């Protein structure tokens, strides 16, 4: 049988005149288009990304690091246990939702150096959990009591060590994506290295090296860039300095001639403002990079901003 182009199909599946029906070729074209659309929809459903490897980081600086390592790798998901606005994990109380989050992880990435004081609870409940401690190989600074300072990442050099540790840990846990992880790691290392060189070139020769801070987040940063932390006013961010401590700090600023005190954007500036008013110093803001946006460049941006602030404050 052959079809003649002049035949039309209309109601009742019988021949009609031109004005009442639709050409058979158009019917065939419509049917083919519908089949293609259905086929495409089915393919879309089949090719949706399925999470097969899940990384959970303990807090924000590590989350940003993990975003860079896993950037563009299909099937890999990164979640931040403590949330973007939690800040440092000083005395962080592990919640039931945190444990549920960690339980679903293929790898749990921590800062180490005592930052995650809750790890005994995690490992006792999840003994088979793969944990990557990013502090391995970092030379730790200690306070007067011999307690390690856990704010490693605030130093770009330490952050790069932590990045390498995280990358290797993820590569071992997910060999399939190891080449992509290593490639992304190298790209990020080059960015960090360039920023470190820039900061050294602009900070190594500033005339003023003495600074006052209001949280013990900056010793590693100060060590890296040759700054001297003359005093830390309140060592824990949720504490308030005593009147005696404030008076001693004001006296130190006057005697040494310190012109800048540095608060952090995550905490109130009330104590810093009192010290500044009484001593004549100026309050500036330094960001340790513990809160921010879900942006893989967040750490780089925070350090660029710190550089700008320090140039104004110490030149």
Is there a domain that residue 250 lies in?
Answer: yes
Check if the beta carbon of residue 281 is closer than 8 Å to that of residue 260.
yes
pLDDT of res. 235: 59
CATH of the domain at 121: 3.40.50.1980
Is there a domain that residue 1 lies in?
Answer: no
Query: Do 75 and 22 lie in a common domain?
Result: no
Query: Do 238 and 293 lie in a common domain?
Result: yes
Is there a domain that residue 167 lies in?
Answer: yes
pLDDT of res. 96: 94
Query: Do 190 and 81 lie in a common domain?
Result: yes
pLDDT of res. 270: 82
What are the pLDDT tens digits along the chain (315 aa)? 444 444 343 444 443 444 445 566 666 666 666 666 555 554 444 445 799 999 999 999 999 999 999 999 999 999 999 987 667 898 889 999 999 999 999 999 999 999 999 999 999 999 999 999 999 999 999 988 999 999 999 999 999 999 999 999 999 999 999 999 999 999 999 999 999 999 999 999 999 999 999 889 999 999 999 999 998 886 565 567 788 888 988 999 999 889 899 998 887 778 888 888 899 999 999 999 999 999 999 999 999 999 999 999 998
Query: Do 80 and 131 lie in a common domain?
Result: yes
pLDDT of res. 3: 42
Query: Do 220 and 292 lie in a common domain?
Result: yes
pLDDT of res. 34: 63
Compute CA 50 distance to the chain's CA centroid, rounded to the nearest angstrom.
23
pLDDT of res. 35: 61
The residue from 166, 199, 232 where one domain ends is 199
Cα dihedral 298, 304, 310, 315 in deg (nearest 10): -170
The residue from 199, 217, 238 where one domain ends is 199
Query: Do 80 and 134 lie in a common domain?
Result: yes
Domains contained in the chain, number: 3
The residue from 184, 199, 214 where one domain ends is 199
Query: Do 115 and 211 lie in a common domain?
Result: no
pLDDT of res. 31: 65
pLDDT of res. 38: 55
Is there a domain that residue 2 lies in?
Answer: no
Tell me whether residue 243 is exposed, middle or buried, using C-beta atoms within 10 angstroms of its C-beta: 0 to 12, 13 to 18, 19 or more. exposed
Residues found in the chain: 315
Sorted by sequence, the CB contacts under 8 Å of residue 280 that are 6+ apart come out as 253, 254
Query: Do 254 and 302 lie in a common domain?
Result: yes
Is there a domain that residue 74 lies in?
Answer: yes
Domain that holds residue 81: 53-199
Query: Do 181 and 305 lie in a common domain?
Result: no
Model pLDDT for residues 140-150, shown as the tens digit of each residue = 999 889 999 99
Query: Do 100 and 185 lie in a common domain?
Result: yes
- Phi first, then psi, for residue 137 (nearest 5°) are 90, -5
Is there a domain that residue 274 lies in?
Answer: yes
Query: Do 289 and 184 lie in a common domain?
Result: no
């Amino acid at each position: 049988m052959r079809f003649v182009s002049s035949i039309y199909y209309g109601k009742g599946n019988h021949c009609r005149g031109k004005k009442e029906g639709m050409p058979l070729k158009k019917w065939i074209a419509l049917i083919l288009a519908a089949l293609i659309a259905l086929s495409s929809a089915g393919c879309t459903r089949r090719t949706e990304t399925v999470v097969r490897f899940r990384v959970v980081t303990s807090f924000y600086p590590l989350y940003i690091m993990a975003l860079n390592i896993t950037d563009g790798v299909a099937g890999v998901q990164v979640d931040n246990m403590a949330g973007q606005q939690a800040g440092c994990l000083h005395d962080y109380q592990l919640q039931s939702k945190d444990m549920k989050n960690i339980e679903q992880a293929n790898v749990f990435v921590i800062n180490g150096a005592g930052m995650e004081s809750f790890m005994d609870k995690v490992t006792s409940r999840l003994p088979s959990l793969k944990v990557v401690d990013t502090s391995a190989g970092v030379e730790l600074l200690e306070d007067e009591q011999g307690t390690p300072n856990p704010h490693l990442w605030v130093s770009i050099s330490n952050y790069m060590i932590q990045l390498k540790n995280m990358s290797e840990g993820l590569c071992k846990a997910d060999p399939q994506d190891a080449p992509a992880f290593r490639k992304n790691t190298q790209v990020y290392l080059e960015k960090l290295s360039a920023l470190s060189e820039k900061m050294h070139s602009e900070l190594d020769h500033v005339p003023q090296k003495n600074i006052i801070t209001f949280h013990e987040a900056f010793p590693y940063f100060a060590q890296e860039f040759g700054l001297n932390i003359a005093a830390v006013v309140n060592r824990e961010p949720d504490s308030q300095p005593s009147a005696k401590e404030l008076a001693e700090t004001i006296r130190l600023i006057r005697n040494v001639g310190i012109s800048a005190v540095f608060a952090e954007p995550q905490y109130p500036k009330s104590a810093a403002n009192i010290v500044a008013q009484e001593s004549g110093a100026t309050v500036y803001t330094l960001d340790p990079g513990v809160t921010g946006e879900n942006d893989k460049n967040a750490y780089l941006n925070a350090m660029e901003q710190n550089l700008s602030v320090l140039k104004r404050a110490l030149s």
